[in-house]
Amino acid sequence: MKETIIYLARHGQTEWNLEKRMQGHKNSPLTKLGITQAEGLYNRLLEETIDIIYSSGSKRAYDTAAIIGGNRCIPIIVKQELREIHMGDWEGLQQSDIISRYYEAWSHFWNKPHLYVPTGLGESYQELQDRVIPVIKDIINLNGGKTILIVTHRITLKVIMAHFNSQEIQNIWDTSDIEPASLCKISIKDGVFRILMYGDTSHYR
Mean pLDDT calculated for residue range 49-75: 97
- Among 81, 84, 91, 123, the active-site one is 84
Average pLDDT, the chain: 96
Binding site feature residues for substrate: 10-17, 60
pLDDT at residue 86, rounded to an integer:
98
CA distance 74 to 178: 25
184 contacts 15 by C-beta, under 8 angstroms: no
Residue 143: which residues within 8 A CB-CB, separation 6 or more? 4, 51, 52
pLDDT at residue 204, rounded to an integer:
81
Structural domain boundaries enclosing 90: 4-204
Supply the CATH number for residue 97's domain. Answer: 3.40.50.1240
- Domain total in the chain: 1
The strand pair at 76-79 and 52-56 is best described as parallel
- 84 labelled catalytic: yes
User: What CA–CA distances, in Å, run from 197 to 30, 48, 94, 99, 186?
Assistant: 24, 15, 31, 33, 7
pLDDT at residue 60, rounded to an integer:
98
pLDDT at residue 153, rounded to an integer:
98
User: What CA–CA distances, in Å, run from 71 to 21, 75, 123, 131?
Assistant: 32, 11, 36, 31
Give the global pTM. Answer: 0.96
Q: Could you tell me the pLDDT band of residue 47, with boundaries at 50, 70 and 90?
A: very high
| For residue 31, pLDDT beyond 90 | yes
Tens digits of residue pLDDT in 167-201: 999 999 999 999 999 999 999 999 899 999 999 99
- 11 labelled catalytic: yes
List the end-to-end C-alpha distance of the chain, in Å, as a whole number.
Answer: 36
pLDDT at residue 161, rounded to an integer:
97
Mean pLDDT calculated for residue range 83-108: 97
